[in-house]
Amino acid sequence: NSKLRHVEKDVLIPQIMRDRAKELCSDKVQAFTKCCQETGFLMVVKCRQENTALKDCLVGYYSDPSFYEECKAEYLKQREEYRATGIKKKRQKVTSNV
């Protein structure tokens, strides 16, 4: 049964999308984080280029229908495994300051 509840469509699948997009944009996440650490208070001004590159990368994935379908399939697979085994699989978190 692949019918999705509201919370799955609006919360759980978007969470997978955010996590995966951060992984796929990790070079831009690192560049922005490094810039912010080196700049301090002036990061809003000085890191604008890195912030824009990061945002563009993330939004590119968020707005891609095939990426949504990929993440939805991943979620449904996890849900199916959980229903079969009762064991919830933890997603590996990427540690970053974003």
| pLDDT average, residue stretch 71-85 | 93
pLDDT at 6: 93
Cα 80 from Cα 91, distance rounded (Å): 15
- Does the pLDDT at position 69 exceed 80? yes
pLDDT at 59: 97
pLDDT at 1: 57
- Does the pLDDT at position 21 exceed 70? yes
How many Cβ atoms are within 10 Å of 15's Cβ, its own excluded?
13
CB 79 within 8 A of CB 54: no
Q: What is the pTM of this model?
A: 0.77
Cα 42 from Cα 47, distance rounded (Å): 8
